[in-house]
Homo-oligomer: A and B are copies of this chain.
Amino acid sequence: MASESVGVGLVGFGTIGAGVAKVLINNRDVIAQRLGFPLDLVHVADLDLDTDRGVDLGSIRFDSDGAGLITNPDVDIVIELVGGYDFARKLCLDAIAAGKHVVTANKALLAVHGNEIFGAASEKGVDVAFEAAVGGGIPVLRALREGLAANQIQNLYGILNGTTNFVLTEMERTGADFEVVLKQAQELGYAEADPTFDVEGVDAAHKLALLTSMAFGSTLDFKSIPTEGISKLTPLDFESAEANGYRIKLLGIAKRHVAPDGSETLESRVHPTLIPRASLLADVDGAMNAVAIRGDAVGPTLYYGAGAGELPTASAVVGDLMEIAREVHRGASGRVAPLAFPQPTLVPKPLRALGDLVSRFYLRIEALDRPGVLAKITGALGEHGVGIESIHQQGAAPGEDSVPVVVWTHEVREAGVRDALKAIDALAEVTAASNVIRVEEDL
């Protein structure tokens, strides 16, 4: 059966779907050459049969019959690109039940319903691949699953969302406010009309949930990931970062801790982070993504590329298709576990509470420009054991009475910082909720 083809069905013919069709059609020869057999797109399903996607499907079956696609005997692998939760979940589960392998780019779906979907696939003995769900075109899941398979992963830091990285890069470059830059990003197509999922860190948390499971063999636990977005950042934060040798990036951070008794706890969190300018991640600008992964044998590594977009995402989807197709073509199966995660069985591993985090912190406190206010602030910090490395009060602008006070702390438990800020925010002279940015040095 050396030249027998493997059949692919595509559900969801939007931007990414069109990209996948383009790559499968345009690079058909090189793909067949590398596989030793053709990979054929045989069926495309979408509710919208009219919009021109700029790709000629030729004689490929194109209808709105997703259920029919799943049961199409010519389809060996189903690509789910419909997005969202309910319909996508049902589609994946139905495809798995029909014995079809599944490739998806849907991080939201997997972060929330992954345990169910991977469980069903494992029971049925089919593959679920999702390289495109994390880091777009960057083959970072493959690096974790295969290239670094000999390592205990120690930590990872990811710039996992292009929209927010674009906004942060522009805020730093121009000194403009968040809202102004967000609007530009929307006009340029880097941010959606409703940007909440991106700017509030939810998309990054979806991806971090998948990375955390892969890196540490832990059950998916998206709901437990503390998540903060970038909407509260101000130009002053970037100025202060710059002056202290840092840049601000929205990071997904995951770390593994082993207690003396051998028990494991994990950190998994998404928030704006101050990182040293000299770190490679600090140089990742614009809409690009990157993930830094440290393994016990390999040491620090980093993977960089486009985290979204039609063709980069398609690159990852088709890479997954090729890997599964090779197995299908050999008549093999049972690679589910390695495709899904680096180990066959995921086990629940407790997440460390954010209050237990020990770090330096950057605090921005809005307070009235009155004698004695700084004493009250430093007093509250001291009472809660928060050591101050530097404190700086900006002069009030003409007509303004409230000024920001910037504090860089020594290393301290976050719980102490939170308690101190609770006391500070309760002061009569403090005019707005204080803002906190965590500092990560070790990357």
Interface residue ranges, A against B (CB under 8 Å): 19, 23, 27, 30-31, 33-34, 36, 131, 137-139, 142-143, 146-152, 217, 280, 283-284, 290, 295-306, 309, 311-312, 314-319, 321-323, 326, 330, 332, 334, 337-338, 342-344
Contact of A143 among B142, B149, B290, B312 (CB under 8 A): B142
Whether B139 contacts A146 by the Cβ 8 Å rule is yes
> Which residues of B have CB within 8 Å of A305?
298-302
Whether B297 contacts A315 by the Cβ 8 Å rule is yes
Given A143-B142, A298-B137, A304-B280, also A314-B150 (CB < 8 A): yes
> Which residues of B have CB within 8 Å of A319?
146-150
Expressed in whole angstroms, the Cα–Cα distance for A83 and B305 within the complex equals 34
Whether A315 contacts B295 by the Cβ 8 Å rule is yes
Expressed in whole angstroms, the Cα–Cα distance for A435 and B34 within the complex equals 42
Closest to A136 in B: B298
> Which residues of B have CB within 8 Å of A300?
304-306
28 A-B pairs within 8 Å (CB atoms) are namely A27-B150, A27-B296, A31-B150, A33-B343, A34-B338, A34-B344, A36-B337, A36-B344, A137-B295, A137-B301, A139-B142, A139-B147, A139-B148, A142-B146, A143-B147, A146-B319, A146-B323, A147-B319, A150-B315, A151-B315, A280-B304, A298-B316, A299-B305, A299-B306, A300-B305, A302-B303, A302-B304, A330-B332
Give A325 Cβ to nearest chain B Cβ, in Å.
Answer: 10
Give A293 Cβ to nearest chain B Cβ, in Å.
Answer: 9
Expressed in whole angstroms, the Cα–Cα distance for A300 and B373 within the complex equals 51
Closest to A330 in B: B332
Expressed in whole angstroms, the Cα–Cα distance for A321 and B298 within the complex equals 15
Expressed in whole angstroms, the Cα–Cα distance for A142 and B332 within the complex equals 21
Closest to A309 in B: B299
Contact of A139 among B143, B304, B312, B315 (CB under 8 A): B143
Expressed in whole angstroms, the Cα–Cα distance for A27 and B343 within the complex equals 14
Expressed in whole angstroms, the Cα–Cα distance for A343 and B35 within the complex equals 7
Whether A137 contacts B297 by the Cβ 8 Å rule is yes
> Which residues of B have CB within 8 Å of A142?
139, 142-143, 146-147
Whether A298 contacts B323 by the Cβ 8 Å rule is no
State the majority secondary structure of interface residues on A: mixed
> Which residues of B have CB within 8 Å of A343?
30, 33-34
> Which residues of B have CB within 8 Å of A150?
23, 27, 31, 314-315, 317-319, 321-322
Closest to A300 in B: B305
Given contacts A33-B344, A299-B311, 4 further A-B contacts (CB under 8 A): A150-B317, A296-B311, A301-B303, A326-B338
Whether A303 contacts B306 by the Cβ 8 Å rule is no
Whether B280 contacts A297 by the Cβ 8 Å rule is no
Give A313 Cβ to nearest chain B Cβ, in Å.
Answer: 9
Whether B149 contacts A31 by the Cβ 8 Å rule is yes
Give A122 Cβ to nearest chain B Cβ, in Å.
Answer: 12
Whether A314 contacts B326 by the Cβ 8 Å rule is no
> Which residues of B have CB within 8 Å of A322?
146, 149-150
Give A24 Cβ to nearest chain B Cβ, in Å.
Answer: 8
Expressed in whole angstroms, the Cα–Cα distance for A293 and B360 within the complex equals 36
> Which residues of B have CB within 8 Å of A138?
147, 298, 301
Whether A342 contacts B139 by the Cβ 8 Å rule is no
Expressed in whole angstroms, the Cα–Cα distance for A217 and B290 within the complex equals 28
Whether B316 contacts A27 by the Cβ 8 Å rule is no
> Which residues of B have CB within 8 Å of A30?
152, 343
Expressed in whole angstroms, the Cα–Cα distance for A315 and B283 within the complex equals 26
> Which residues of B have CB within 8 Å of A318?
149-150, 297
Most buried by B among A137, A138, A297: A297
Closest to A306 in B: B299
Give A79 Cβ to nearest chain B Cβ, in Å.
Answer: 13
Expressed in whole angstroms, the Cα–Cα distance for A296 and B150 within the complex equals 31
> Which residues of B have CB within 8 Å of A315?
148, 150-151, 295, 297-298
Expressed in whole angstroms, the Cα–Cα distance for A298 and B302 within the complex equals 17
> Which residues of B have CB within 8 Å of A311?
296-299
> Which residues of B have CB within 8 Å of A302?
290, 302-305
